[in-house]
Structure 1
Amino acid sequence: MKFRNFKTVPRIIFGRGAYNQLVDVVDEQRTSDDDFAVFIVDPSQRGKDTETRLPAREQDLILWADVGEEPKTTYVDALTDLVQRYRDGQLPVSVVGIGGGSVMDIAKAVSLMLTNPGGAARYQGWDLIENPAVHHVGVPTLSGTGAEASRTAVLTGPEKKLGLNSDYTVFDQVVLDPELIRDVPKNQWFYTGMDCYIHCVESLEGTYLNEFSKSYGEKAMELCRQVYLDDHPDKDDKLMMASWMGGMSIAYSQVGACHALSYGLSYVFGYRHGIGNCIAFNVLDEFYPEGVAEFREMVKKHDIDLPQNLSKNWSDEEIARMVQIAKGLAPLWDNVYGSGWEEKVTDELLTDLYRRM
């Protein structure tokens, strides 16, 4: 038996006020006064301490990310071209993503495309990246996606929504500062945090489960419960660590049915990943009965108005397209059913699930 030899983030700073050390992280990569870094920042951070304390030098490039929709391969290609033209082809010493999962995925993808030719859509899949990325740093201002820990940058391409999955995708450095997530709006805080909770459910109930993923998944789920059921006073610290551990849990396992269905929702209707997961998870009683029941308890506790009865406005063609996308995510269904999943994941099953949303 051959075991996966996967890469994890080699350097991590955690703690309240850790953001102040970002200047040291970036400056460590500079070897001359002419070196420049690229900061890709979520627009939600405008006017906040995150912006005023941004450790950018005069020659650095600051890009305010467009996060109005899920990140697209075409957008990554456009940003990559902008960075390449900024200094006539000179590579930055570091690409720093400051924001939620979308911004961190964009930063990871740009750092990869600066050293891999042909456009981001070419690399949607598993282990297609050929060359190491530019040094890249993740600074989450929203917790739940696990993007800071994962080996993927999830992008919507011309044919599918799928990540750039590779060891080269993993951040070289992550800065985890719980102070940066304290003012997140309630709905966004909930939907993104549920991405972490759902990671744990899918990992812990999947066929890929092992003691590595189980250890991280169980602790992440415990922290999610403290945050969303117990309202723990240190909930920001706990949610940030839950996000990290949830991401680590699927590093040696895989997500499952909810994420497969959510990818279809995002591609066809543009739903953001967190809310898309919640819409999909709410109809998966047959797959994850205990997890769905507890999820609904969290929805009720925090008075979340979860969108329902959406399918009444969907055409047969739109549903068929979502079915095609969801069905194409083989590793996810293998984690749900194991070998022979192709016989169980039928068009009829997936159509029925989408019709319930």
Structure 2
Amino acid sequence: MTKENNAQLNIKTLEHLNQHKNFPMVPRVVFGRGSFSSLGSILLPKRRNSDAPFIFLVDAFFEGSDLENRLPLLFNDQVIYVSAEEEPKTAQVDALVQKLKSDYTEEPSGIVGIGGGTLLDLAKAVALLMTNAGSSSLYQGWDLIQKQGLYHVGIPTISGTGAEVSRTAVLMGPEKKLGLNSDYTTYDQVVLDPDFLATVPKDQWFYTGMDCFIHCVESLEGTYLNAFSQSYGEKAYDLCKEVFLGDIDQKEAEEKLMMASWHGGMSIAYSQVGVAHAMSYGLSYVLGTKHGIGNCLVFQFLEEYYPEGVALFNQMMQKHQITLPKGVCANCTAEQLDTMATISLSMAPLWENALGADWTSKISKEKLIAIYKKI
């Protein structure tokens, strides 16, 4: 990432993003080791009455752990453990919403999501669909949510996706993988406790961290780049280099990666991601590949678009002795490859950010399929 590239701010950016759009940010955040213990006092004033519970959607990884005893449960609060092995689905959101509406006559006081990007996106979506009628698949897109959701709190236990700060909840739907992108999606409260990151397996730590790094590369190299997104993106980019290429201890790395994720998520409030994310969506939709590793699988072959970023990515993999799976698409049918490319090309804002307004003349389904075949 050269200083010259970083300095070339595109004045057309805001035209692409509904000029002077008043984007929301997370209004309240608490950071620090042990800050999870403040959750009870945060939720207490938000409880409407004893019959209006808080619903805790928690990564199934923590079932049976000491976290169960640390949850500030009162009255008829409910804990629902959810597997994060697969990407969150619209059908899963709809089923949870139906369950909660049948379990309680009183509307819940709020939703608390505890986990990685999968749980954080799921919790945001459930909070929205509790107050917006119909299937969550109807709201996959931009600014389709019409009503404010339930009060919702996000507590990341792994860092990199930026889901804790973003205005989208990415879901796998019956026809596409796409987020519920709206001003109502953003969390009302976030708790950033780096102690959680000590539980993350090394490969998952790397893949999710690379989601943040790739996120920053795409934002900083994009045609949507502006001073707002650049300021956050550069900070997250530098933090990722410290974490994955520097010589720092584990606790410092955990704290810095948590802040890289936060800044990386903020970097696209007035910007967008690019080629790797667009292609990862296709890979995930067809093969169910998790988002973090999906970005890595694609990014390794994108030197044409992000030469410096790919070079650093390779250094990071070597330093941490990460070997990506091979032959992931080896047995894909022509129909599956075509679907991957079709899903990817449907992400028009991502492609426009990556390649410019005339992006359709610079990329083709055939070129995408050729890249997928390498994975």
TM-score, reference length from structure 2: 0.93
Please report how far the alpha carbon of residue 307 of structure 1 lies from its aligned counterpart in structure 2 after TM superposition: 1.3
Deviation readout 1:73-101 (Å, 9 max, x if unpaired): 0000000111111113x211110000000
For 1:266, the equivalent position in structure 2 comes to: 284
1:188 is aligned to 2:204: yes
Deviation readout 1:169-200 (Å, 9 max, x if unpaired): 00000000001111210001000110000110
1:291 aligns to what SS in structure 2?
A: helix
1:313 is aligned to 2:331: yes
| Alignment partners' CA distance in 1, 2:114 and 2:329 | 35
For 2:92, the equivalent position in structure 1 comes to: 75
| Alignment partners' CA distance in 1, 2:191 and 2:328 | 38
Please report how far the alpha carbon of residue 65 of structure 1 lies from its aligned counterpart in structure 2 after TM superposition: 1.1
2:111 aligns to what SS in structure 1?
A: strand
Query: 1:217 aligned to 211, 233, 248, which one?
Result: 233
| Alignment partners' CA distance in 2, 1:315 and 1:331 | 28
| Alignment partners' CA distance in 1, 2:29 and 2:176 | 32
Please report how far the alpha carbon of residue 5 of structure 1 lies from its aligned counterpart in structure 2 after TM superposition: 1.1
Query: 2:215 aligned to 189, 196, 199, which one?
Result: 199
Query: Which AA in structure 2 matches 1:149?
Result: V
Query: In the comparison of the two structures, how many residue pairs are matched?
Result: 356
Deviates further, 251-260 or 41-50: 41-50
Query: Which AA in structure 2 matches 1:92?
Result: P
1:136 aligns to what SS in structure 2?
A: strand
| Alignment partners' CA distance in 1, 2:118 and 2:42 | 22
1:351 is aligned to 2:369: yes
For 2:41, the equivalent position in structure 1 comes to: 24
Deviates further, 347-356 or 189-198: 347-356
1:167 aligns to what SS in structure 2?
A: coil
Please report how far the alpha carbon of residue 346 of structure 1 lies from its aligned counterpart in structure 2 after TM superposition: 1.1
2:269 aligns to what SS in structure 1?
A: coil
For 1:148, the equivalent position in structure 2 comes to: 164
Please report how far the alpha carbon of residue 344 of structure 1 lies from its aligned counterpart in structure 2 after TM superposition: 1.5
1:6 aligns to what SS in structure 2?
A: coil
1:313 aligns to what SS in structure 2?
A: coil
Query: Which AA in structure 2 matches 1:18?
Result: S
Query: Which AA in structure 2 matches 1:178?
Result: P
For 1:12, the equivalent position in structure 2 comes to: 29
Deviates further, 206-215 or 346-355: 346-355
For 2:65, the equivalent position in structure 1 comes to: 48
2:277 aligns to what SS in structure 1?
A: helix
Please report how far the alpha carbon of residue 231 of structure 1 lies from its aligned counterpart in structure 2 after TM superposition: 4.0
Query: 2:261 aligned to 243, 256, 260, which one?
Result: 243
Deviates further, 28-37 or 100-109: 28-37
* Percent of aligned pairs with the same amino acid: 54
Query: 1:97 aligned to 113, 118, 142, which one?
Result: 113
For 1:277, the equivalent position in structure 2 comes to: 295
Query: Which AA in structure 1 matches 2:210?
Result: M
2:330 aligns to what SS in structure 1?
A: helix
Deviation readout 1:218-248 (Å, 9 max, x if unpaired): 1111111111111422001000000000000
Deviation readout 1:137-177 (Å, 9 max, x if unpaired): 00000100000010000000000000000010000000000
Please report how far the alpha carbon of residue 58 of structure 1 lies from its aligned counterpart in structure 2 after TM superposition: 3.6
| Alignment partners' CA distance in 2, 1:180 and 1:346 | 42
Deviation readout 1:278-327 (Å, 9 max, x if unpaired): 00101101010010011011111111120123332221111000000000
Residues 61 and 83, structure 2, Cα contact 8 Å, conserved in 1: no
1:324 is aligned to 2:342: yes
| Alignment partners' CA distance in 1, 2:329 and 2:135 | 34
Q: CA RMSD in A?
A: 1.1
Residues 297-308 of structure 1 correspond to what in structure 2 (within 5 A)?
297-308=315-326
1:288 is aligned to 2:288: no
| Alignment partners' CA distance in 2, 1:210 and 1:93 | 38
TM-score, reference length from structure 1: 0.98
Q: Which portions of structure 1, spanning 4 or more consecutive aligned residues, are displaced by more than 2 angstroms?
A: 31-35, 46-51, 308-312
For 1:35, the equivalent position in structure 2 comes to: 52
1:86 is aligned to 2:103: yes
| Alignment partners' CA distance in 2, 1:20 and 1:82 | 28
Query: Which AA in structure 1 matches 2:233?
Result: G
1:243 aligns to what SS in structure 2?
A: helix
